[in-house]
Structure 1
Amino acid sequence: MTTEDNDQAAQFRQEGHVAFVVGYTGATGKELVKALSTTSLFKRVVLLGRRKTNVTEKLGNEFEEIIVDFEHLENHEDVFTGCDVGFNCLGTTRSKGGKEGFLRVDHDYVIKTAEFAKAKGCKRFLHVSSQGSDKDSWFLYTKTKGLVEEELQNLQFEHLAIFRPGFLLCEREETRIGEKIAACCFSPCICCCLKYSAMPTETLGLAMVRRACRPNGTVEIIDNPTIHYIAT
């Protein structure tokens, strides 16, 4: 980080911002939480999830875990009170939850979270989308990602950062056969063109934290090379 970046981070830290994170148990979410912990930029970080974990035992006192029911988020809207920054890492796969399960998590839960957060005063929202997202796509995954991006923009946050990483490189607790096959087939390309084709989840998490304290415009669409640049 440059001296200017350090000064910006120090000023942000002094302002006493409060953040919430959804999707913190996933591969990207875990790295985001690590980055939030090591940078200590927020006065308070609220982790919103569907089940209790032991994640806060290894984190600072500024972290709090709250269990919510995303199917009935209206019953938990007060958890967003005081949070001026939101991080969304929610996501699943069609193979895991079927078409309905995928749409429920990747669309419904995301939009509900954003709507309630905005209503409670959230000003900055940082969202993990995907490379190739397109609301007019024939493919369910990229079409859903594109539709969510459009709906988030319609909410008119003071700052909306949409991250479009390429192939995510990480260690998963669950085995995804498709990803393993893709990794084997494209590993030479990934090694040679990491900046353009792939993204370590650690890099993505750090870039999200850095962009939270230094937004660039009202709406940002941040592609794979730019994510790498922000994190370096």
Structure 2
Amino acid sequence: MPGLWWFSISVLVVFVAVLYQLENSPSVEPPRMANDFNTKEEDYKKLNKSCFILGATGETGQELLKEIIHRQLFSKITVIGRRKLPLEDEAYKDVVQEVVDFDKLDDSAAAFQGHDVGFCCLGTTKAKSGEAGFIRVDHDYVLKSAQLAKAGGCKHFNLESSKGADKGSSFLYLRVKGEVEAEVGELDFERYTIFRPAVLLCDRKESRPTEWMTRKVLAPIAYMFPSALSVPVKVLAKAMVNNVVLQSDQKAELLENKAIHMLGNMEKTKG
């Protein structure tokens, strides 16, 4: 028993050390911080840009739509989905809703025309949709939407991906995420931003027992090491909007979890 006790302590120490390293390591792609963020945001509003959101029924998409409405950043906001959302609040009265059949997206090409910025938050799981269904949503729908957006004049495409995405991965989820990242990149948008969040902390409306348990386990870890293994969905949504305001000279951006935290919490430091 003493040997087992010491082994457990050793594993815990190593685990904490790894979390500390993740928390304090520099971001691979640090976001461009700006002391005059408020001015930049006001200047961006004056450009009268339009945007669309894919996946607005999901947790990230819902928070993103809420954040965009709150910030009044775009002159026109379009939600593209398979069904209309019950947007009854007065703040949402000008949101345009385009209902499409994702299996026949070519028939709805007009819905993707005339937008400056696109946000793609489409996604499902293998457990919910099966392997074929997961690939269809997270790869086929995403790629086809990006193609139509590019053809429709979209300049800046934002893709919600996943931490660890890698087209060479042996894990289906990470491989598909990595493949679609690369293929959307080949479309040559003027600006292409990939967000790779870790575990999303949110209260899902749909029941996903494994994710629920993961969030419960991660809660104390997230308190001590907020950017190591997780990110609140509200922080991700803010990061996506803040990144649009902080216009970049980079044609392609890859924002990992720590950079997402930095961008999403800018309002705490922007004076």
Partner residue, 2:110 = 78
User: 1:59 Cα shift?
Assistant: 3.0
Partner residue, 2:229 = 197
Partner residue, 1:25 = 57
Verify the 8 A CA contact 1:43 1:62 in the aligned structure 2. Answer: no
User: 1:3 Cα shift?
Assistant: 5.0
Letter in 1 for 2:169: S
Q: Deviations over 1:155-176 (max 9, x none)?
A: 1111111000111000111111
Partner residue, 2:29 = none
Q: Deviations over 1:73-108 (max 9, x none)?
A: 101111122101000000001011000110011000
User: 1:58 Cα shift?
Assistant: 4.5
Q: Deviations over 1:102-156 (max 9, x none)?
A: 0011000000000000011100001100001111100000001100110111111
Letter in 2 for 1:86: G
Letter in 2 for 1:71: D
Identical columns (%): 39
Three-state SS of the structure 2 residue aligned to 1:46 is strand
Q: Give the counterpart of 1:207 among 222, 228, 239.
A: 239
TM-score, normalised to structure 2, is 0.82
The farther-off stretch of 61-70 and 29-38 is 61-70
The farther-off stretch of 160-169 and 52-61 is 52-61
Instruction: Give unpaired runs (5+ residues) of structure 2.
Output: 1-32, 266-271
- Any residues of structure 2 matched to 1:40-189 within 5 Å, and which? 40-55=72-87, 57-189=89-221
Larger Rg: 2
Letter in 2 for 1:65: Q
Q: Distance in 1 between matches of 2:121 and 2:90?
A: 20
TM-score, normalised to structure 1, is 0.95
Q: CA RMSD in A?
A: 1.4
Verify the 8 A CA contact 2:167 2:176 in the aligned structure 1. Answer: yes
The farther-off stretch of 181-190 and 72-81 is 181-190
Three-state SS of the structure 2 residue aligned to 1:59 is helix
